[in-house]
Homo-oligomer: A and B are copies of this chain.
Amino acid sequence: MQTGGPGFVFLYMTSRVTIVGPGLLGGSLALALKARTGAHVTVWARRAESVAQVEARGCADAATSDLTEAVRKADTVVLCTPVGTMPALCQQMNTTLPSGALVVDVGSVKAPVVNDLTPLFTAPTQFVGCHPMAGSEQTGLAAARVDLFEGAVCIVTPQISTPPTAVTNAEAFWQSVGCTTRRLDPQVHDEVVAWISHFPHLLAAALVQTVAEQLPAAFDFCGPGFRDTTRVAGGPPDMWTEILAENRAAVRTAIDGLIEKLRGLSTLLADAPSAERDSLMNQLLSQAKAQRDRLRLPKTPSDV
């Protein structure tokens, strides 16, 4: 699935990348760039304490809390901060960012980010929205892993007006750290991830809370099924609150769709005669199993 040829690899063998925000994704990206490419990596962190952690981890060539300094020589900037902080950071870095740089992000919601950030840069500097489907319920630089992006899908979400070169450069960048890349319209991206990531996260949290309210004693008997079904509910609340708010329309569509399905199942278990009930239930379970068995799923223990 690698579409970037040797030319792209060479580009990132010699590039200067600035990572804005040294969390799980930013830290893992720094580790992967140092391990897999010859890129010069600068990490920006807001707090001096985080700068010191980056230096202690040894995952970057330079670390600083001065954003204009951090991007002064960058040809690629990767925004790894919460989505809500990105516009202000982009405006600030614009004063020193070299013309022609590529700016990408790792946000889980794309339509609002692409709409907000694209107009902040002037050609040939270009923003391209990206969503590497990697992460974990863990957070922070301490959880960073050199292989976090290996085999992960990175969805690249250009607008129709985005220059093709910027899109292929963004794709080559993610491929250089081990990702497979796909393209989606930003709005379609948001609908897709609502179904396979954002809503499942909210659903896991809702399930845990409903058990907590209705039969908390059941928690004493959890096995691996409940563990895996609810794993994503261990994710960072602040980040997920922002994601769910930004993508609320698509998430509501998913909530309401599942409510309808569950209503039908509740009725089925209550009313239908036994043979018909079991036949319909078996059909649902068989179709779901067949569907899931067909999925191409990642093998790594990381999380979307």
A residues bordering B, Cβ < 8 Å?
Answer: 133-134, 152-153, 155, 182, 191-193, 195-197, 200-215, 217-238, 240-242, 244-245, 248, 251-263, 265-266, 269-270, 274, 277-278, 281-282, 284-289, 291-298, 300-304
| Interface pairs (5), CB distance under 8 Å | A197-B226, A205-B285, A225-B304, A229-B231, A259-B262
Instruction: List chain B residues, Cβ under 8 A from A261.
Output: 206, 209-210
Instruction: List chain B residues, Cβ under 8 A from A281.
Output: 241, 244-245
Instruction: List chain B residues, Cβ under 8 A from A241.
Output: 278, 281-282, 285
Give bound CA distance, A200 to B235, whole Å. Answer: 19
Number of copies: 2
Give bound CA distance, A244 to B281, whole Å. Answer: 9
Instruction: List chain B residues, Cβ under 8 A from A263.
Output: 259
Give bound CA distance, A221 to B233, whole Å. Answer: 20
Q: Given the known A-B contacts A223-B152, A291-B209, are A232 and B237 also in contact in the complex, defined by CB atoms under 8 Å?
A: no
Determine whether the beta carbon of A223 is less than 8 Å from that of B295.
no
Instruction: List chain B residues, Cβ under 8 A from A203.
Output: 203, 207, 229, 262
Determine whether the beta carbon of B215 is less than 8 Å from that of A195.
yes
A226 to chain B, nearest CB (A): 5
Determine whether the beta carbon of A227 is less than 8 Å from that of B193.
no
Determine whether the beta carbon of A214 is less than 8 Å from that of B195.
yes
Determine whether the beta carbon of B227 is less than 8 Å from that of A297.
yes
Instruction: List chain B residues, Cβ under 8 A from A270.
Output: 248, 252
Determine whether the beta carbon of A218 is less than 8 Å from that of B192.
yes
Nearest neighbor of A269 in chain B, beta-carbon distance: B248
Instruction: List chain B residues, Cβ under 8 A from A265.
Output: 202, 206, 255
Closest 3 CB pairs of A and B: A223-B304, A205-B288, A237-B285
Give bound CA distance, A292 to B207, whole Å. Answer: 10
Give bound CA distance, A211 to B244, whole Å. Answer: 18
Determine whether the beta carbon of B266 is less than 8 Å from that of A259.
yes
Give bound CA distance, A232 to B228, whole Å. Answer: 8
Determine whether the beta carbon of B292 is less than 8 Å from that of A208.
yes
Instruction: List chain B residues, Cβ under 8 A from A221.
Output: 133, 153, 155, 182, 192-193, 196
Q: Given the known A-B contacts A133-B223, A223-B304, A245-B281, are A293 and B234 also in contact in the complex, defined by CB atoms under 8 Å?
A: yes
Nearest neighbor of A201 in chain B, beta-carbon distance: B225
